[in-house]
Amino acid sequence: MAEYSALSLLKNALSGNKDWKPAWRKPEPKPSYDVIIVGGGGHGLATAYYLAKEHGITNVAVLEKGWLGSGNIGRNTTIVRSNYLLPESIRFYDFSVRLWENLSHELNYNVMFSQRGILNLAHSPAQADEYIRRGNAMCHGGGDGVWLTPEEIARKVPGVDLSASARFPVVGGLLQPRAGTARHDAVAWGYARAADRLGVDIIENCEVTGFLREGDTIIGVTSMRGEIRARKVAIAVAGSTSRVLRLAGIERFPIESHVLQAFVSESIKPYLDCVVTFGGGHLYMSQSDKGGLVFGGDLDGYNSYAQRGNLPLVEEVMGEMVAMFPAVARLRLLRSWGGVMDMSMDGSPIITKGPLPGMYLNCGWCYGGFKATPASGFSFAWTIAKDEPHAINAPFTLSRFERGAVIDEKGVGPTPKLH
Ligand SMILES: Cc1cc2nc3c(=O)[nH]c(=O)nc-3n(C[C@H](O)[C@H](O)[C@H](O)COP(=O)(O)OP(=O)(O)OC[C@H]3O[C@@H](n4cnc5c(N)ncnc54)[C@H](O)[C@@H]3O)c2cc1C
């Protein structure tokens, strides 16, 4: 039954909005759980939901340092896509897109998933070849990739500079029609509410400060709210991965933390009805339902745990935006913010049992983990419940670094080694 129906909106509007039921409880932590999830971002919350829903494991606590949505789940540019090159990535991210397609119904919460498509602009014949190759790989893997000519791009995205004098001439573009955007806070709130309703304890303002151990085995955590024991401890802390692993004595791990900024302009009339990326540098832009242009570019380029960025990158991103869409040069910038990215060394995620007994780890999302939220939660829950990976995350365990079987997504993944 819809909890936020038109009738309940009207009723609560008339009663001063004082009677809304909280979307999740504020429980005190119990002394022990079957599973503790460290990190109440999108991935931690989705994992808790699928543990309860798919595996019947409901004696679960999600421990969040701040408030839900304070991390990258509430800071991203909301792009959902599966336009990858390598079969492992296509399989994983396409599975995620399929979960997105039913997510609002699954959670009974409108996550505003809008399949408006993503268009990657190509600016040289070599880049066009590369994108067409990727589109073919996507189609072979069961996904959707369509090549657009400049004439078709002119009709679809009239704001793009397609003139002969353009600084970066456009020779075509790869469109993934099923890609799109979603409302990022709603994803956190939707998973939180659904997990809570299944019995999961979501405990905010509860930073994990250490791990309880018996020998090498992790048997719980120390936190701002005391010691909490668990049979299994799962970590999903994105940009804080190296800091949290250090609490368990793991000093060396193939993850670096970097700042990524995002921007939103003042609201304008409908201007852009798909996501567009610029291939001459690194820029991605869409228009939100409120009318603001939402966009971002590259990492700031130095290691940091700060959730804010610096000015040189702002200038670079604005320069790319104006080169691609000259008409936006006179728009005012409304807000900018930053998040801490967990950059893995091959640009692909890690969803794994270990590295210590009793521990499970989910990280390495680089700047593309929002779109992965449903598949990540689904496969991490599977890994925790069954002590083995699901077929879709089997290639993404830690053993790939030992075996040299890295998943180096040159097609469209981040390239941490260049930063
Ligand atoms: C500016 C920006 C733009 C992006 N754009 C996109 C995009 O368009 N598309 C896309 O797919 N991805 C994008 N991303 C990446 C995506 O947001 C992340 O990969 C993803 O959200 C990471 O997973 P998460 O949601 O679980 O992380 P988070 O929301 O960061 O969750 C981790 C949580 O762990 C908590 N935590 C940390 N340490 C502790 C501790 N000791 N104890 C308890 N809790 C702790 C943190 O407070 C945080 O809430 C973007 C990211 C940023 C910053």
Tokens of 349: 């995620």
Q: Exposed, middle or buried by CB within 10 Å (0-12, 13-18, 19+), for 363?
A: buried
What pLDDT, on a 0 to 100 scale, did the predictor assign at position 419?
42
| Cα 103 to ligand 1 centroid, rounded to whole Å | 19
* CA of 81, closest atom in ligand 1: 11
Distance of CA 343 to CAs 71, 73, 132, 348, 392, Å?
15, 16, 27, 8, 20
Buried b (16+ CB within 10 A) or exposed e, 245-272: beebeeeebbbbbbbbbbbbbeeeeebb
Tokens of 225: 């709210």
Q: Exposed, middle or buried by CB within 10 Å (0-12, 13-18, 19+), for 313?
A: buried
Residue 219 and residue 358 in contact, taking contact as beta carbons nearer than 8 Å: yes
What pLDDT, on a 0 to 100 scale, did the predictor assign at position 412?
59
Closest CA to 179 of 94, 272, 102: 94
* CA of 244, closest atom in ligand 1: 41
What pLDDT, on a 0 to 100 scale, did the predictor assign at position 1?
66
| Cα 362 to ligand 1 centroid, rounded to whole Å | 11
Helices (H) and strands (E) in the chain, counts: 11, 18
Residue 310 and residue 223 in contact, taking contact as beta carbons nearer than 8 Å: no
| Cα 339 to ligand 1 centroid, rounded to whole Å | 7
| Cα 211 to ligand 1 centroid, rounded to whole Å | 22
What pLDDT, on a 0 to 100 scale, did the predictor assign at position 91?
96
238/342 Cα distance (integer angstroms):
5
Q: At CA 335, angle to CA 334 and CA 339, rounded to 5? A: 160
Amino acid in the structure at residue 219: I
- Take atom 18 of ligand 1 and give the residue whose Cα is closest: 369
Distance of CA 292 to CAs 265, 270, 289, 325, 367, Å?
5, 9, 8, 15, 21
84/77 Cα distance (integer angstroms):
18
The residue whose CB lies within 8 Å of the most ligand 1 atoms, and thus the one to mutate among 47, 72, 224, 264, is 72
| Cα 187 to ligand 1 centroid, rounded to whole Å | 12
What pLDDT, on a 0 to 100 scale, did the predictor assign at position 415?
60
282/76 Cα distance (integer angstroms):
15
270/266 Cα distance (integer angstroms):
12
Residues within a 6 A CB radius of ligand 1: 38-44, 63-66, 70-73, 75-79, 207-208, 236-240, 244, 260-262, 296, 339, 365, 367-371
| Cα 167 to ligand 1 centroid, rounded to whole Å | 34
- Take atom 13 of ligand 1 and give the residue whose Cα is closest: 368
Per-residue pLDDT of the chain (419 residues), as tens digits, is 677 888 988 999 999 999 888 999 999 999 999 999 999 999 999 999 999 999 999 999 999 999 999 999 999 999 999 999 999 999 999 999 999 999 999 999 999 999 999 999 999 999 999 999 999 999 999 999 999 999 999 999 999 999 988 889 999 999 999 999 999 999 999 999 999 999 999 999 999 999 999 999 999 999 999 999 999 999 999 999 999 999 999 999 989 999 999 999 999 999 999 999 999 888 999 999 999 999 999 999 888 999 889 999 999 999 999 999 999 999 999 999 999 999 998 889 999 999 999 999 999 999 899 999 999 999 999 999 999 999 999 999 999 998 988 898 865 555 655 44
Q: What is the largest CA-CA distance in the chain?
A: 68
What pLDDT, on a 0 to 100 scale, did the predictor assign at position 301?
84
| Cα 155 to ligand 1 centroid, rounded to whole Å | 35
- Take atom 4 of ligand 1 and give the residue whose Cα is closest: 76
| Cα 215 to ligand 1 centroid, rounded to whole Å | 31
The H-or-E segment that residue 255 falls in is strand 255-267
- Take atom 19 of ligand 1 and give the residue whose Cα is closest: 369
Number of neighbours of residue 25 by Cβ within 10 angstroms: 12
Residue 398 and residue 251 in contact, taking contact as beta carbons nearer than 8 Å: no
